[in-house]
Amino acid sequence: MLNIDSLERGVVIDHIKAGKSMEIYRVLELDKLDCSVAIIKNARSKKSERKDIIKIEDRIDIDLDVLGFIDPNITVNIIDGGKIVEKKKLTLPARVVNVVKCKNPRCITSVEQELDHVFALTEKGVYRCIYCEQEYQPQ
């Protein structure tokens, strides 16, 4: 059982928008880990807004680019010896593969099921499907 208050060694993904933790759990494929993973939903943050937190009881390599795509406000802290030893900075990735699906029904990805769903960051800061140019609309 993972003690969520005193993590000795691991990774804390903090400031997740309330309700988004399961999406991150799925995208990072945390279900495939052998170590303990704790999801805290609707925690109170300092600004009294609700947030989700994910605590992983191991030092795993997290795909930070994907987190930056989902929500650049997320923070990632690396914990060792019960203390934060590193705060990771998130940036917007140049492209994301198989994180979100293209919603254009005429896109080739809706016909060719085996194709990767690839979105590329444009100069305007929006993501577009590389096949049909459909803009990704975050919910």
Would you tell me which residues interact with Zn ion (CB under 5 A)?
102, 104, 107, 129, 131-132, 134
CA 7 – CA 14 distance, rounded (Å): 14
Nearer to Zn ion, 87 or 103 (CB): 103
Nearer to Zn ion, 92 or 132 (CB): 132
The one-letter amino acid code at 54 reads I
The residues with which 38 forms a beta bridge, in sequence order, are: 55
CB of 11 to Zn ion, least distance (A): 33
CB of 27 to Zn ion, least distance (A): 19
Nearer to Zn ion, 5 or 114 (CB): 114
Find tokens 């979100």 and name the residue. 100
Whether the CB-CB separation of 86 and 113 falls below 8 Å is answered with: no
CB of 128 to Zn ion, least distance (A): 8
CB of 108 to Zn ion, least distance (A): 7
Nearer to Zn ion, 69 or 131 (CB): 131
Strand ranges across the sheet with 37-44: 37-44, 50-56, 9-17, 75-80, 83-88
